[in-house]
Amino acid sequence: MLAALAGIVLFVVILHAIVRWAWRRVIDMAAAANRRRTLAALAMAAVIVFVAARVSGHGGADSSFPTPVVETYARQIRLVATAMAAPRSLAPSPPMTSDLSRIAGADVLLIFIESYGAVAYDRPAFASGLAAAGARFEAAIHDAHRASVSAFVESPTFGGGSWLAHISLLSGIEVRDPDTNALLMTQRRDTMAKAFARRGYRTVAWMPGMRQRWPEGRFYGFDDIYGADRLAYRGPEFGWFAIPDQYSLDRLDAFEVNRPSRQPLFVFFPTISTHFPFSPTPPYQPDWRRITDRHPYDGPDIVRAYAREPNWTDFGPGYVDALSYDFTSIAGYVGAHADRDTVMIVLGDHQPPAAVSGEHASWDVPVHVIASRTAVLDRLVGHGFQRGLTPRRPSLGRMHSLLPMLLDAFGDSRPCKLCKMSSVFVLSNRVASAEATAFALHAGAIAMTRSGLPLPPTIFSGAAMTIDPVGGS
């Protein structure tokens, strides 16, 4: 028995070493232009042979090459070809040379509220249902001696695909599909996180919806990335992603904000409590000291929350309840931090699904900036924002165009040595294409190991851990 077990372990170790060696050879070979072309030609020829054999019926009775894998490899070939022409196929990054002088060391929280769309204001029933929570939010801002400005921007996605909105804003480049997302990540681009890091900020991705590794996060340049495991939530679970947004905000203080003698923070926080199907919604806990307990809520509150199951024929009430919860949680956080110098950017990632948004809905989402610095807010008003928490049309433009507006409001454009280094937006063709080739072949190998099942689109999305398992966002 022990000998058999030792043999299995030895086999796995040897297989792992062989696979690592093989992939290293592929990457090394792809680094040279002539070898890369040869590798691509051989890969394409292999695909053509398999496809031809399958179509002609001469592959033999024992031949097995599932159709989904053929489609996957075809997609990889297209991705590699596009990556080789990447400098010509993607827009240049916008300048990110703001000196951030108008926020001068303030913490900056970028909060994407899941499914927070313009329908929350366009549909009268939703607007009236959110009025009370909105009024509490506005009162909390006023009591904290801050003010707000608001607007609409057009999201690059609708009803799902949150990561497309995230990367569009953080990179300043419009990304409307998974292929463009994957292609952009083969390049070294400037990002909002890198721009803040150059000015002395600690940059953090706060991602309670991330349940496993997120290697794509390296593209953004965050100093640290927190997922669900590190947040260590022990209370009752709600919705697809279990962790209440109020808890996530509280843990942000414990892990980052309350550190002594720290750098100013730039935090990217995509929320999850407003994710489709919106119910059950966590109860709001006014006593924030209890939110980290194993039993953070009173029994009757839990019973009422779980009693509100999704209404699969009318998601509207659940949508309003979920947004009200997030408004109340963020308002509570603002009130608890009245003495801190914080700039908050709160916006939607996309409209909710058509079952909520209805027919002919726009792709607009609200964006709010909350701060005590009047110079920042005045600058944003000059860009088209309206004062207060109620956004008005027309929209400012597309999501990616919001980044230059924010950086302009935060400071003056001044060159710095690190900024000059970051102005080389794209890796050389040799490195970028090698990475894209290895990325594509690796994805194809994953498909092969899945016994012919279609390759999940999250492999290409750059947001594999924040995507809904049933195709939300």
pLDDT score of 440 = 46
The separation between the first and the last C-alpha atoms of the chain, rounded to the nearest angstrom, is 47
Query: What is the spatial distance between Cα 408 and Cα 410, in angstroms, rounded to a whole number?
Result: 5
pLDDT at 441 over 50: no
Q: Which CATH superfamily is domain 107-422 in?
A: Alkaline Phosphatase, subunit A (3.40.720.10)
384-392 average pLDDT score: 97
User: Is 235 or 362 the better-scoring residue by pLDDT?
Assistant: 362
Query: What is the spatial distance between Cα 201 and Cα 223, in angstroms, rounded to a whole number?
Result: 9
pLDDT digits (tens, 9 = 90+) for 336-357: 999 999 999 999 999 999 999 9
Spatial CA neighbour of 432 closest among 28, 35, 87, 78: 87
Residue 51: pLDDT band with limits 50, 70, 90: confident
424-429 average pLDDT score: 40
Query: What is the spatial distance between Cα 31 and Cα 435, in angstroms, rounded to a whole number?
Result: 8
Share of the chain above pLDDT 90, in %: 58
User: Is 177 or 11 the better-scoring residue by pLDDT?
Assistant: 177
Residue 417: pLDDT band with limits 50, 70, 90: low
User: Which residues, other chains included, contact 325 with Cβ-Cβ below 8 Å and sequence gap of 6+?
Assistant: 245, 246, 273, 274, 281, 282, 284
The domain ranges of the chain are 13-87+427-461, 107-422
Mean pLDDT lowest among 84-88, 92-96, 226-230, 334-338: 84-88
Residue 473: pLDDT band with limits 50, 70, 90: low
Residue 444: pLDDT band with limits 50, 70, 90: very low
Cα dist from 180 to 98, 126, 188, whole Å: 27, 34, 14
122-146 average pLDDT score: 97
pLDDT score of 172 = 98
pLDDT score of 88 = 55
pLDDT score of 436 = 47
pLDDT score of 431 = 42
Query: What is the spatial distance between Cα 329 and Cα 339, in angstroms, rounded to a whole number?
Result: 18
Query: What is the spatial distance between Cα 234 and Cα 232, in angstroms, rounded to a whole number?
Result: 6
Query: What is the spatial distance between Cα 393 and Cα 371, in angstroms, rounded to a whole number?
Result: 22
Instruction: Spell 68-99 as b/e; 16+ CB within 10 A means b.
Output: ebbebbebbbebbebbbebeeebeebbbbbbb
94-116 average pLDDT score: 96
Query: What is the spatial distance between Cα 74 and Cα 317, in angstroms, rounded to a whole number?
Result: 44
pLDDT digits (tens, 9 = 90+) for 6-16: 777 778 888 88
pLDDT at 429 over 50: no
pLDDT score of 427 = 41
pLDDT digits (tens, 9 = 90+) for 290-330: 999 888 999 898 888 888 888 888 999 999 999 999 999 99
186-206 average pLDDT score: 96
447-453 average pLDDT score: 40
Structure tokens at 231: 């947040």
Residue 241: pLDDT band with limits 50, 70, 90: confident
Mean pLDDT lowest among 84-98, 250-264, 356-370, 414-428: 414-428
Query: What is the spatial distance between Cα 69 and Cα 365, in angstroms, rounded to a whole number?
Result: 37
User: Is 118 or 29 the better-scoring residue by pLDDT?
Assistant: 118
| Strand pairing category for 342-348 and 107-113 | parallel
404-428 average pLDDT score: 68
242-252 average pLDDT score: 96
pLDDT score of 457 = 37
pLDDT score of 467 = 36
User: Is 270 or 44 the better-scoring residue by pLDDT?
Assistant: 270
User: Which residues, other chains included, contact 324 with Cβ-Cβ below 8 Å and sequence gap of 6+?
Assistant: 129, 130, 132, 133
- Say if CB 163 and CB 181 are below 8 A apart: yes
pLDDT score of 310 = 83
Q: What is the 3-state secondary structure (H, E, C) of the chain?
A: CHHHHHHHHHHHHHHHHHHHHHHHHHHHHHCCHHHHHHHHHHHHHHHHHHHHHHHHCCCCCCCCCCHHHHHHHHHHHHHHHHHHCHHHHCCCCCCCCECCCCCCCCEEEEEEECCCCCHHHHCHHHHHHHHHHHHHHHHHHHHCCCEEEEEEEECCCCCCCHHHHHHHHHHCCCCCCHHHHHHHCCCCCCCHHHHHHHCCCEEEEECCCCCCCCHHHHHCCCCEEECHHHHCCCCCCECCCECCHHHHHHHHHHHHHCCCCCCCEEEEEECCCCCCCCCCCCCCCCCHHHCCCCCCCCHHHHHHHHHCCCCCCCCHHHHHHHHHHHHHHHHHHHHHCCCCCEEEEEEECCCCCHHHHCCCCCCEEEEEEEECCHHHHHHHHHCCCEECCCCCCCCCCEHHHHHHHHHHHHCCECCCHHHHHHCCCCCCHHHHHHHHHHHHHHHHHHHHHCCCCCCCCHHHHCCCCCCCCCCCC
pLDDT at 100 over 60: yes
438-458 average pLDDT score: 41
pLDDT score of 249 = 97
Phi-psi region of 115 (alpha: psi -120 to 50; beta: other; left: phi over 0): left
Query: What is the spatial distance between Cα 116 and Cα 473, in angstroms, rounded to a whole number?
Result: 12
CA angle, residues 438, 439, 444, in degrees to nearest 5? 95
pLDDT at 169 over 50: yes
Query: What is the spatial distance between Cα 193 and Cα 202, in angstroms, rounded to a whole number?
Result: 9
User: Is 84 or 397 the better-scoring residue by pLDDT?
Assistant: 397
Spatial CA neighbour of 416 closest among 187, 101, 106, 92: 101
Average pLDDT, the chain: 83
